[in-house]
Chain A
Amino acid sequence: MKKWLLNWRLFSLFSLMALLLAGCGKPFLSTLQPAGEVADMQYNLMLLSTAIMVFVIAVVTIIFVYVVIRFRQRKGQENKIPKQVEGSHKLEIIWTVIPILLLIILAVPTVSYTFKLADVKPMNKEKRDKDVVVVNVRANLYWWEFEYPDYGVVTSQDLVVPTDERVYFNLKASDVKHSFWIPAVGGKMDTNTDNKNQFWLEFDSKRAEEAGGIFYGKCAELCGPSHALMDFKVKAVSRAEFDQWIEKMQNAKPVASTDPVVKQGEEIFNKSCIGCHAVTPVDKRPEQARTAPNLANFADRERIAGILEHNEENLKEWLRDPEKIKPGNKMTDTYGKLTEEQIDALTKYLMTLKVE
């Protein structure tokens, strides 16, 4: 048995090393590399609770190892009957009181942070301060819509936010329940079908830069076959850049292209796609009518369909058979079969949709 134990220890050592090699995940995705005020608070709480818990585990392990080795049956003791002990009030009080104290140490910051994270007063003031950024997040089967109500701008899939200030979110779902999560920047909140949830996040400029300026966002509530693929991206930019971007979005005008292929693509788009997809960021229709991602700045996006590398090949792949890429999506079978030529044209056209 000892040999087994030794092997096991070696094995644990190796798996620990493997863990270290894998690092603590990616800076654009990992909760262990927090990149904002909220994630910091949560990371601190994690560290505190982990410290307490490791202490508990250590105490238990020490007693455990001692007991298991010291009191195992030895040769010649097969018939020994140990003393039958009823218990010990002193000991029992000790291991009731100490955990209570440890939990109080943990409970205080937990409660305090819980309230801090729920502080959304600035977004609900009757007259909101001009520079408070509010984003309405609407989760849909496998895509995200981000509306900036104060600026009259709608976009989707890529969330653009200013750094170093609190950004406030209204969260809801239009079909089934989803959950809005940007792990590196802060814990999640559900998007319900029945009500609107609110919370805030803060994106740290320095650490955003270290993470490459882009954070990964995820859907964290099972919502159907493509739940795993319901990713979005967050571009964290300085306040000045953010204001510029908003301005560009507000003033975006369709560019009349001279390229006949692009023209052909536009025609196809206007025939087959525009019923669901808008191509202007100032989309005044009610949200029920906005049944598909807004494509106004499609060419500026990070990913095709939220997951594929952003290039023409992948876009064509997506247009050919969306079902293959995101099973259960709502776009499949809403348009007729496209010829390769039509797909080329459509691709060319879509790649002209940009504001930057």
Chain B
Amino acid sequence: MSTLARKKGVGAVIWDYLTTVDHKKIAILYLIAGGIFFLLGGLEALVIRIQLAVPNNDFISAGFYNEVLTMHGTTMIFLAAMPLVFAMMNAVVPIQIGARDVAFPFLNALGFWLFFFGGVFLNLSWFLGGAPDAGWTSYASLSLASPTHGIDFYVLGLQISGLGTLIGGINFLVTIINMRAPGMTYMRMPMFTWATFVTSALILFAFPPLTVGLIFMMMDRLFGGNFFDPALGGNTIIWEHLFWIFGHPEVYILVLPAFGIFSEIFATFSRKRLFGYSSMVFATVLIGFLGFMVWAHHMFTVGLGPIANAIFAVATMAIAVPTGVKIFNWLFTMWGGNIRFTTPMMYAVAFIPSFVIGGVTGVMNATAAADYQYHDSYFVVAHFHYVIVGGVVFALLAGAHYWWPKMFGKMLDEKLGKVTFWLFFIGFHLTFFIQHFLGLMGMPRRVFTFLPGQGFETGNLISTVGAFFMAAATVVLLANVVITTVKGKRVGADPWGDGRTLEWAVSSPAPEYNFAQIPLVRGLDAYWIEKMEGKKGLTPAEPLGDIHMPNPSFLPFVISLGLFIAALGFLYNQDYAWGKWVGIVGLLVTLGAMFLRSVIDDHGFHIHKEEIMEAEKKGAGA
């Protein structure tokens, strides 16, 4: 049964990935799918910037612009940033806590396929009558008025992919609670694991409100519901609340893992343990908690009244405190360190000033009375791109360079990596810094063009130029990936030489079973401790023996495919008689696959001791 050390054909490899339940392979799936959606979202961003390069431009039409704008936001948040974060989590967290896999390998695969089919479904809209065009927030009155099926694709696609995210969140919560190696107490967990833990909790509580909102909108658009129709007593503000009760924690769902990634990188390349580890943990938890208390700061201009606005303003400001603690802790991690400017470290270092700008403009936005000016202007666009790009995307790029050898066994080229970094860094600030001023000068966001003579020309042109720098950076990155894959040299367990956490103790890439023997963890930065004591490997916590592994399964793919078919059917429910039936067939496929999963016993298989010993010998030689 073992798949160790077997040469395989292309078909077999594809089948392997379609059925895999191995967290490392699922990480690669997330990375590829998320990467493709990232390119797509980036392309959409370029279209937006080209259209806005000069006043009264007619590069694309107004209606199409709204589709591109909506899909840019939706794709980047749900289909690029989230899955890329999941790629990092899957690649690293189980190994960081000394586990052989996640708690629910089957659900892990299911989570990926749900996200994937949801994303594909959403993008089908381009070819089937038009993409959603009401912004990624899809405010109810506009989205109900939208004439094409675009919004239906949005509503159904996000329900499917949201389900996948929710499953992923539960999986990591249980994994981190139940699967830690002996000695890996909570306060010895690497910062990235902590971030994953808190993020997963946020996912668990933030996604259901979004699902409910999407259900309401689906009911209204496809099944005659009246949740958001004021004529029949509905209320569109309900959508705004539900969306932002999800939407604000979503920011932290993205940015906390980013903080986690940078925490690892700062410690590694400063060759110092993380400064103020306990306060970092506390700050992470606090940010996660406060993240749920502040959603209405997205709604200051809705007319909730001064009391609500004041409360949410002050609560929002409070988040700056734990975030500030983190910034200073990172600075003091570097203080007295031996800093090596590798590509991941460049991103980490550049992240600090970039993210501080995003953070302080966040506080500015929190001042409700002044936010009446900022709200829905380009100031806000600048602010959240500083947070999402300067925080999350920098972290994902850093993490990709940092953990690439662990995922693929080869180092990305450092020279090209630095070229990517500089292009991206310059492009990023060039694009978004000026947008603060455009907003303050009176430019509303989500405009498909602007008229001459309002003072917006220079700023927009600079911004567009910047976007091309980022595009160039992406091209270099892709070239780097290709060159590395073709020509890169295999590396050993700890290719950066300064690895501190457990993932650097196993070969690159890690064997299917991660650890031949589950390690005994003796403190924070478990691998570093062993290294400093002059030991080669980890202290094992168990004798070498057979390792129990989960079976691969095709069912996650089928369950997700069923929902995909069902969504397609229900989308056409009101247009064609077959719509409903296709929808029901799709649901039956899903339920049938779930039924099979329930009735077929799946006890997994064992990798035998001898095979492990052989594999370890080879791995050590690599």
A residues adjacent to B (C-beta < 8 A): 1, 4, 8, 11, 15, 18-19, 21-26, 29-32, 39, 41-42, 45-46, 49-50, 52-53, 56-57, 60-61, 63-64, 67-68, 71-73, 77, 80-88, 91-92, 95-96, 99-100, 103, 106-107, 109-111, 113-118, 171, 173, 175-177, 179, 181, 183-184, 186-190, 192-195, 197-198, 216, 218-229, 231, 307, 327-328
Contact = CB atoms under 8 A, between A and B. Distances in A.
Interface string B413-445: 000000000100010001001100100111011
A53 B363 CA distance: 8
Contacts of A188: 301, 372-373, 375-376
Nearest to B278: A87
15 contacts: A18-B462, A22-B459, A30-B441, A49-B364, A67-B331, A68-B339, A86-B277, A110-B310, A110-B370, A181-B444, A184-B442, A194-B236, A220-B445, A227-B66, A307-B451
Given A64-B331, A71-B334, 14 more contacts: A26-B453, A41-B369, A45-B370, A71-B339, A72-B341, A82-B270, A82-B338, A86-B277, A87-B278, A96-B324, A114-B368, A183-B377, A225-B61, A227-B448
B62 A31 contact: no
Nearest to B311: A111
Interface residues of B, number: 97
A80 B145 contact: no
A57 B511 CA distance: 45
Interface of B: 61-63, 65-66, 134-135, 139, 141-142, 145, 230, 234-237, 270-273, 275-279, 301-303, 305-306, 309-310, 313-314, 317-318, 320-321, 324-325, 327-329, 331-332, 334-341, 349, 352-353, 356-357, 360-361, 363-364, 366-373, 375-377, 422, 426, 430, 433-434, 437, 440-442, 444-451, 453-455, 458-459, 462, 532
Contacts of B353: 57, 60-61, 64
A234 to B, nearest CB: 13
A92 B282 CA distance: 12
Given A99-B321, A194-B230, A220-B377, A31 B440 contact: yes
Contacts of B366: 110
A227 B446 contact: yes
Contacts of B278: 87
A193 B449 CA distance: 26
Contact of B317 (A57, A103, A186, A307): A103
A189 B372 CA distance: 7
Closest 6 CB pairs of A and B: A187-B372, A25-B441, A228-B447, A113-B369, A87-B276, A53-B360
A195 B336 contact: no
Contacts of A19: 434, 437
Nearest to B321: A99
Contacts of B444: 181, 218-220, 227-228
B217 to A, nearest CB: 14
Contact of A85 (B272, B364, B426, B430): B272
Contacts of B426: 8, 11
Contact of A71 (B62, B270, B303, B371): B270
